[in-house]
Structure 1
Amino acid sequence: MAPKVLVSDKLSETAVQIFRDRGIDVDFMPELGKDKEKLLSIIDQYDGLAIRSATKATEKVIAAATNLKVIGRAGIGVDNVDIPAASKKGIIVMNTPFGNMITTAEHAIAMMFAVARQIPEASASTHAGKWEKSKFMGVELTGKTLGVIGAGNIGGIVCERGVGLKMKVIAYDPFLSEERAEKLNVTKVELDELFKRSDFITLHVPATDKTRGMISKENIAKMKDGVRIINCARGGLVDEAALADALKSGKVAGAAFDVFEVEPATDSPLFNLPNVVVTPHLGAATTEAQENVALQVAEQMSDYLLTGAVSNALNMPSVTAEEAKVMGPWVKLSEHLGAFIGQMTDEAMKEIQITYNGNVSQMNLEALNCAAVAGIMKATNPDVNMVSAQVIAKERGVKISTTTQDKSGVFDGYVKLTVVTDKRERSIAGTVFSDGKPRFIQIKGINIDAEIGEHMLYTTNEDVPGIIGTLGQTMGENGVNIANFTLGRSSAGKGAIALLYVDEPVPAPVLKKLTDTGMFRQVKTLHFDVA
């Protein structure tokens, strides 16, 4: 059955056609996002939800979305999506951070020109029949120092454009490497130095606890007299009241704002001040950008629903279509390893340790971690998936650690999973053979070679004669067919294990018969999702 997607905002017809061309059943209802009750009543019918900003994917909507697997936001901001609620529900949340980079960067540059030459006021004056050449004395950009706060995707483009305008560009970004700064032809500085040196300051950072209010009264005092400030990033980065005071005093010569603390902004301390240019959040508002993000979100959602490829997700590691093909068996192995541990462990877990050896250590380990932890958590919560697993583990205070190793042993690569509780450590390792099938290769330090089936029986015992006969005879007498039988032992006469792949679940009375023989320390049925 084809996946089904709801488009509840105004995406282009071309984007909607992408879903259809990829074989996805799509309902295009561009006005539905404004009708909360209607959205609630039908959201359970869909595997995917494609939105812009009008649709609010609240906790209530997500709770009602019983089949939803992915939410795609055409654009960068995801303030209208409850990501924690989606993560707990196992729903991937994607955005399109690259579709409007150039458009937003260009808007910042346009705003800088506008405030440097007082273009909006000069235009209004001229439209009014005035000819006030002397009133609108501007400043050149050439030779001025441009301070860029945040040199990521958009900020990096602004840096390049500033260099092209023959400005001296300095940048503050804790994650900006010297190599990247050199490539951009900018000077990396600390924030206070940027405040001190800049003639123009432009912001390109997300709104976080660390960045909100970063342009404060105290920081404005550190700036050059006559500085001009541009914000086309996010509202709340600038204390608007403090900036208004600085504009009135002449400390700040001008400001250009596309974003505000409260939007839609019907009132702001910055409104109606001289040499303040304001626009209604137009950073991404070009025909090209709107089309780009719509097409991008349609492609990303289609890729995930059809191939499992994950792009630009905010709550899940990205996995390309190529990676999904290569990693598929390793993802399944990681799930199986986790499922084994989860079904065997009754005590509260303190730590999950995952070791990647050999060729698998070069793969997308974050995705494999998600699969392993999901396998563990499914033992107690069948609704857990790769998105929600680590959230749930974190809520329970479970530490997750990852180690990589060079190839050791006879296998080109393997994964080892260890769970630590207050009482014990329990470990299992597995690999993927050349046929693409996952295998268990070690349990409790005992080497084995076990094919993984949907229904399995695990036993532990002393290495004594009669174990194979007892298991075979008991299964045979009770009509349980054995598809595969694996044995392993630590050493002669010591601890041993058996892992049986059977055609159907072993009934409880059969388990009791095995236990009653007194030959087994442990008898446990296991189930694995091998589909």
Structure 2
Amino acid sequence: MRRNIVDSYRVLVATKIAPEALEVFASYSQVQVEVQVGLDSSSLAQIISDFDALVVRSAPMVDREVLESASRLKVIGRAGIGVDNIDVEFATQRGILVMNTPEGSTITTAEHTIALMFALVRNIPQGVQSLKSGKWWKGRLVGRELHNKVLGIIGLGNIGRVVAQKAQGLGMRVVAYDPYTSEERFLELHIERRTLEELLRESDVVTCHTPLNEGTRDLIHRGNLSLMKPGSYLINCARGGIVNEEDLAEALREGRIAGAAFDVFVQEPPPVDHPLLALENFICTPHLGASTQEAQRSIARAIAEQICRYLLYREVRNGVNFPALPLENRPLVLSYMRLGEKLGSMAAQLLQAPVERLSVHYQGEVRRLSLEPIGLAVQKGVLENFHSTVNLVNAPFLLRRHGISFRQIQEESLDFHSSIGVEVWGGGRSVEIGGTLFGKKELRVVRLNEFPLEATPEGFILVMENRDRPGVIGRVGSLLGRHGINISRLELGLDRRRNRAISFWNVDSPASVEVLEELRQLEDVISLVQVRL
């Protein structure tokens, strides 16, 4: 890899960090480090122009004031995961790479999950508390073994996979729900695939390891908590909000499940009158998942190494944003990137199976533009439904890790001056979707499989295929109206040869699982999928 030829780079460490970071920086002769802890954003803004790189944790704030003064800054390294204290959008506009260290806490968070699982099934916190208060509850606090029990893992990302390996070592049988991980990966990990409902019914312990997004918020709620086995347990060391806390409190009070353990909450710290905190069968920790000495050392080494490799070799790892785009045609490329991301996300959701292959077809004038960032945007769109850390920098790495093949094809355009086509394969079927720009900014879907149409890819969309017969649209509209779901836009496409129709229903609020099932049962409806963009 080509090395950048400069005299030296200056790095400002503006946070307390394990000494391993300074050791890594010292191993690179072209990197000079200065440590200044306790700066506020105004103080940081006064000195940042002298530095090429900045290291922060959850403080200080790296806001617009700081970034406007950062005439020399090339990279911001967050020693940890969250970047709420960094104005990432403005950093991107300034051409500053933002990176974090999501892998540094994988082992420690997985171990914390296992620790909470033992604490739950053996009543360890209750035993400690009762004994210290003078009670001998030996007969009252009878626990359960984990050996030969079923662990259900929701989300097979880095942490979920490590939890699975450790649970298998304890003699547990592991099942998992992850619609975006391939069957081959399940086989490699010796994990049995389940739907979410099947997992909840079968598991003795359920643990959540998904990102928090619109698709996973309140993923566990009153309706599916009722599916869990009596005597089962629920753990959340991922993100607050994946489990509906009020619904869980109700299930615990009524004894529908035996217990639950949280390391994360919607509001942190939770209020003292939080309903879960009053329950004896609920245990919790104050977001300690990444709080080990080893994890902090690992994170320190990782962020220092990443910054040095980027400064010296432009090697990017764990990028949160994307490097600055070429100035020529930049607005147009950005518009096609937005379109590509929407098409990728929609195609993956419509496939309703793990993606195995992905191809992007560039047709017409778009071929004259820089295609790499557009292809990255498509990959991000495909992956973003199940990866909270996916971005335009790490999408290719994550695509390879999931065993998804990728190719880009340039073609002549027959129907439009310029367009993009995205095709995904998986589960023995494929979805092909095409889009274009109206003007230079308006995104449009112009084709879905065999159906030509013109639709706007935004918000909640019900994508329906039906037999082309009178009354179908009216029945769907009436049903949505009865359930208080407003239709903001409706677009239709026809395949007269097969007497089939496709329709895109943009709705103001998502349809529930029950409403979707009602729609699918309507006469002449062939298929219906709800997409979130």
What TM-score do you get using the length of structure 1 for normalisation? Answer: 0.60
**2:236 match:** 231
Q: Residues 398-443 of structure 1: CA distance to partner in whole angstroms, max 9, x if unpaired?
A: xxx98358xxxxxxxxxx9x99xx9999xxxxxxxxxxxxxxxxxx
**Structure 2 vs 1, CA of residues 201 and 48 (structure 1 numbering), >3 Å: closer, same or farther?**
same
* Cα pair 1:2 1:24 within 8 Å, conserved: yes
Q: Residues 201-244 of structure 1: CA distance to partner in whole angstroms, max 9, x if unpaired?
A: 10111111111111112221222222211111111211111111
Q: Percent identity?
A: 44
Shift of 1:299: 0.3
- The RMSD of aligned alpha carbons is 3.7
* 7, 11, 25: which one aligns with 1:5: 11
Q: Please give the secondary structure, in 2, of the residue aligned with 1:260.
A: coil
**Structure 2 vs 1, CA of residues 350 and 178 (structure 1 numbering), >3 Å: closer, same or farther?**
closer
**2:355 match:** none
Q: Please give the secondary structure, in 1, of the residue aligned with 2:102.
A: coil
* 309, 313, 321: which one aligns with 1:315: 321
Map 1:94-105 → 2, pairs under 5 A? 94-105=99-110
* Cα pair 1:11 1:30 within 8 Å, conserved: no
**2:31 match:** 24
**1:83 match:** 88
**1:493 match:** none
* 184, 198, 206: which one aligns with 2:203: 198
Q: Distance in 2 between the 1:44 and 1:175 partners? A: 43
**1:140 match:** 145
- Unpaired runs of at least 5, structure 2: 1-6, 341-359, 363-370, 377-391, 394-405, 420-533
**2:280 match:** 274
Q: Residues 257-288 of structure 1: CA distance to partner in whole angstroms, max 9, x if unpaired?
A: 11111123343321131022211111111111
Shift of 1:191: 1.0
**1:49 match:** 54
**Structure 2 vs 1, CA of residues 44 and 350 (structure 1 numbering), >3 Å: closer, same or farther?**
closer
Higher alpha-carbon Rg: 1
Worse-matched range after superposition: 292-301 or 135-144: 135-144
Map 1:147-166 → 2, pairs under 5 A? 147-166=152-171
**1:181 match:** 186
Aligned residue identity for 2:214? D
* 81, 93, 99: which one aligns with 2:98: 93
**Structure 2 vs 1, CA of residues 284 and 342 (structure 1 numbering), >3 Å: closer, same or farther?**
closer
Q: Distance in 2 between the 1:118 and 1:162 partners? A: 19
Q: Please give the secondary structure, in 2, of the residue aligned with 1:136.
A: coil
Map 1:207-222 → 2, pairs under 5 A? 207-222=212-227
Q: Distance in 1 between the 2:23 and 2:87 partners? A: 28
* Cα pair 2:333 2:374 within 8 Å, conserved: no
* Cα pair 2:38 2:60 within 8 Å, conserved: no
**Structure 2 vs 1, CA of residues 347 and 84 (structure 1 numbering), >3 Å: closer, same or farther?**
closer
Shift of 1:368: 10
**2:116 match:** 111
Shift of 1:303: 0.5
Aligned residue identity for 1:292? S
**Structure 2 vs 1, CA of residues 138 and 74 (structure 1 numbering), >3 Å: closer, same or farther?**
same
* Cα pair 1:176 1:188 within 8 Å, conserved: no
Aligned residue identity for 2:268? E
* 304, 310, 323: which one aligns with 2:310: 304
**2:295 match:** 289
Aligned residue identity for 1:25? Q
Shift of 1:25: 2.1
**1:505 match:** none
Aligned residue identity for 2:36? M
**1:123 match:** 128
Q: Distance in 2 between the 1:349 and 1:81 partners? A: 22
**Structure 2 vs 1, CA of residues 291 and 212 (structure 1 numbering), >3 Å: closer, same or farther?**
same
Q: Distance in 1 between the 2:209 and 2:222 partners? A: 19
**Structure 2 vs 1, CA of residues 342 and 198 (structure 1 numbering), >3 Å: closer, same or farther?**
closer
Map 1:229-378 → 2, pairs under 5 A? 229-267=234-272, 268-316=274-322, 366=372
Q: Residues 131-161 of structure 1: CA distance to partner in whole angstroms, max 9, x if unpaired?
A: 1111211111112211100111110011111
Aligned residue identity for 2:216? T
Q: Distance in 1 between the 2:310 and 2:83 partners? A: 19
How many residue pairs are counted as aligned between the two chains? 357
Shift of 1:199: 1.4
Shift of 1:65: 2.8
**Structure 2 vs 1, CA of residues 128 and 18 (structure 1 numbering), >3 Å: closer, same or farther?**
same
Q: Please give the secondary structure, in 2, of the residue aligned with 1:125.
A: helix
Q: Distance in 1 between the 2:179 and 2:417 partners? A: 43
Map 1:514-529 → 2, pairs under 5 A? none
Q: Residues 145-198 of structure 1: CA distance to partner in whole angstroms, max 9, x if unpaired?
A: 111001111100111111111112110112221111112111111111112211
Aligned residue identity for 1:107? H
**Structure 2 vs 1, CA of residues 369 and 175 (structure 1 numbering), >3 Å: closer, same or farther?**
closer
Shift of 1:248: 0.8
Q: Distance in 1 between the 2:318 and 2:88 partners? A: 14
* Cα pair 1:254 1:275 within 8 Å, conserved: yes
* Cα pair 1:163 1:185 within 8 Å, conserved: no
Q: Distance in 2 between the 1:350 and 1:402 partners? A: 21
Q: Distance in 2 between the 1:368 and 1:45 partners? A: 34
